[in-house]
A and B are shown apart, each in its own frame.
Chain A
Amino acid sequence: MKKSLLALVAGLLLAGNVSAASAADKLKVGFIYLGPIGDLGWTYQHELARQALVKELGDKIETTYLENVPEGPDAERAIEQLVRAGNKLIFTTSFGYMDPTLKVAKKYPNVHFEHATGYKRDKNMSTYSAKWYQGRYIQGLIAAKMSKSGVLGYIGSFPIPEVVSGINATILAAQTINPNIKVKIIWANTWFDPGKEADAAKALIDQGADIIMQHTDSPAAMQIASERGKLAFGQDSEMIKFGPKTQLTSILDTWGSYYIERVKAELDGTWKSEDSWGGLDSHLFAMAPYTNMPDDVKKIAEDAQAAITAGKLHPFKCPVIGQDGKEIECKGGANLADGQILGMNFYVKGIDDKLPGK
């Protein structure tokens, strides 16, 4: 009895060693998340992508994630922790991790890094982001078609170029359908505070907006719009559960295929530092199904999506007129240059509001 028990223990130990050895052969891939994986928005979408990655390449890789990592010096510690744990490819999934990632990347030249939505790169550090403004353009078309009051309500997070270009793309699209369309913009000055987002949505509806658009992360605004019988667009994630009769569409962050592609490159030894900024023609984001709208509006949306995907339609086609009535210098030939969109810090004509800080 005793002997067999010993044998069993020895066997278990051996088995343990074997599995550890095979784990060491697997490529270790690490992820740094800003929020909790259950935020139903930004971080949740990265987590879904990680799960897709594991499903596709699970036999060759081992993944680890750290959630709720604050942007700033703490992030550097967290990233280094992943390096020390043997991760060879590390995805840092928020803008604020830019400098910490760069710092760690310089320290460990043999580890590869992928930073989301930033602009600083190194020979072992890539960046990736999506042209969400294309999706906002489609939403602008739908909003102008569906609005009865002619007033759109827009909840912004922070007045950074990504958000400002989204507002401009929306209003430029809406103007092609209703030249007199109005947009009311409320800055929440936070990415995530369900209560405040709900308050902002209430304020916009109380002031006459009947379509709610958001660039903040929680489904609170969608829920308020649903309660008040208005229409709304989701953000980052599928939010139709919070407004089955409310959601028109949503911009979905779909990082999965990018993660799979990059990890495959790492496995093949072909990984190179790159700057990926993909639009609807890539797989970096997608539009949720067009719902709660008549067929003719749906067709407009689908046609626009097809045209943008094919490169025939550009939301920032020149001439783009600024708020002061002057034409914005066109640096990209027929359209605004990518750099102008990535650094956008002006409102277009038709927005009766002042960009904070301008």
Chain B
Amino acid sequence: MELVEAIILSVLAASTPLLIAATGELVTERSGVLNLGVEGMMIVGAACGFGGAWLTGSIFVGALFGIVAGTLMSLMFALMALGLAVNQVATGLALTILGVGLSGLIGAGFVGERITPAAHLNIPGLTDIPLVGRVLFGEDAFIYFSIALIIGVWWFLYRTRAGLILRACGDNHISAHALGYPVLHIRTLAVMFGGACAGLAGAYLPLAYTPFFIPGMTAGRGWIALALVVFASWRPGRLVVGAYLFGAVTILQLHAQGWGVGIPSQFMSALPYLATVIVLVLLSRARTGGSTAPAALGTVFVPDR
């Protein structure tokens, strides 16, 4: 029983950065913008987040630093891809390369330092409930925030007028523009939200997961977040399933190795990715007519005044 609880806790921790970053990217893509710079925004968020927490001793300030850093990075993207209508794929890739270098520069001053990681919730009575207590009432704030965030995004996209407009920009920017909506402003805000989430997701790594900063510590999680958005076919509900599934396979393959299941570890390390591909194939086969991707995703929009 304790082992099951321990596994669930590890899965939650491993899935959270993916979920937060993917939530941001989902909103960005729903507005019709493909920002491939998630990895770059995350790693800069990690460096700044750690720096903030290290300088002030506050995890909360660190998280804010991460959010601001991610947002600033995304503004750079918005300036290029939306303001100057540069190719989004190229700009996003450039943002990742820039972010990896920039984070090394920012982080150079505090490599090797360590901080006290984010505190875990502790509600006497509730946290001690066997099995579910630690999961529901005993983790760090990031985990609960990520769940609130994705619920908020679902509510925004499907239950508010603003969300409808955002989706309209993503599906047909010409119509949205004709109706008088400021497409580029809306998209800029969506890109900024994506950047803020990526920055926070990056900051989660040094603030709660492994409380130190090392260049390159995101180790490709930004790319997984991007894949998860596609995996979720741009729907918040499926995104939650995808993120936790991915986290679960990652953690379970480690446990399976410890148990000595006898399946080659290289295969097990590939399992999370294999699962992603299989689900993608199943989803696209089950789909009846039309793609679920935002129709205007990745296309440049220059308003004719």
Instruction: Mark A residues whose CB is within 8 Å of B.
Output: 35-36, 38-40, 68, 153, 159, 184-190, 192-200, 202-204, 206-207, 218-220, 223-224, 227, 241-242, 352-354, 356-357
Contacts and interface: CB of A to CB of B under 8 A. Distances in A.
Closest 7 CB pairs of A and B: A38-B111, A187-B265, A193-B219, A36-B215, A189-B269, A206-B6, A203-B254
B177 interface: no
Interface in B194-244: 205, 209-212, 214-217, 219-221
Interface in B114-140: 114, 117
Nearest to B111: A38
Contacts of B74: none
Contacts of A223: 114, 210-212
B79 interface: no
B255 A40 contact: no
Interface in B125-172: none
B250 A196 contact: yes
B37 interface: no
A273 to B, nearest CB: 34
B289 interface: no
Given A36-B216, A196-B219, A202 B6 contact: yes
Contacts of B111: 38, 40
Interface stretch (B256-264, B280-288, B291-299): B256-264
Contacts of B112: 38, 40, 241
A306 B207 CA distance: 42
Q: Is the interface of B mostly helix, strand, loop or mixed?
A: helix
Q: How large is the interface on B (under 10, 10 to 19, 20 to 34, 35 or more residues)?
A: 35 or more
A354 B257 CA distance: 10
Contact of A187 (B210, B215, B251, B269): B269
A189 B209 contact: no
Given A35-B215, A196-B219, 6 more contacts: A187-B266, A193-B220, A206-B2, A227-B117, A241-B112, A242-B114
B3 interface: yes
A157 to B, nearest CB: 11
B120 to A, nearest CB: 11
A38 B219 contact: no
B94 interface: no
A206 B7 CA distance: 8
Nearest to A206: B6
A195 B10 contact: no
Among A195, A198, A352, A356, max chain B CB count under 10 A is at A195
Given A184-B258, A203-B251, A206-B3, A194 B10 contact: no
A187 B210 CA distance: 19
Given A38-B108, A202-B10, A207 B210 contact: no
Contacts of B104: 36, 38, 68
Contacts of A207: 3, 255, 258-259
Nearest to B215: A36
A136 to B, nearest CB: 20
Contact of A353 (B6, B107, B214, B260): B260
A220 B210 contact: yes
B14 interface: yes
Contact of B258 (A195, A204, A242): A204
Interface string B14-43: 100100000000000000000000000000
A354 B269 CA distance: 16
B299 to A, nearest CB: 33
Given A192-B216, A242-B114, A357-B266, A203 B10 contact: yes
Contact of B215 (A39, A203, A227, A357): A39
B201 to A, nearest CB: 12
27 contacts: A38-B111, A38-B215, A40-B111, A40-B112, A40-B214, A185-B257, A187-B265, A187-B269, A190-B219, A194-B210, A194-B212, A194-B219, A195-B210, A195-B221, A197-B210, A198-B210, A199-B13, A199-B14, A199-B250, A202-B6, A207-B3, A207-B255, A223-B114, A223-B212, A241-B112, A241-B114, A352-B260
B23 to A, nearest CB: 18
A45 to B, nearest CB: 13
A197 B217 CA distance: 11
Given A36-B104, A38-B108, A189-B269, A199 B254 contact: yes
Given A189-B265, A195-B14, A206-B6, A354 B219 contact: no
A40 B6 CA distance: 29
Contacts of B108: 38
A186 B266 contact: no
Given A40-B214, A192-B216, A218-B214, A203 B266 contact: no
Contacts of B210: 194-195, 197-198, 218, 220, 223-224
A199 B251 contact: yes
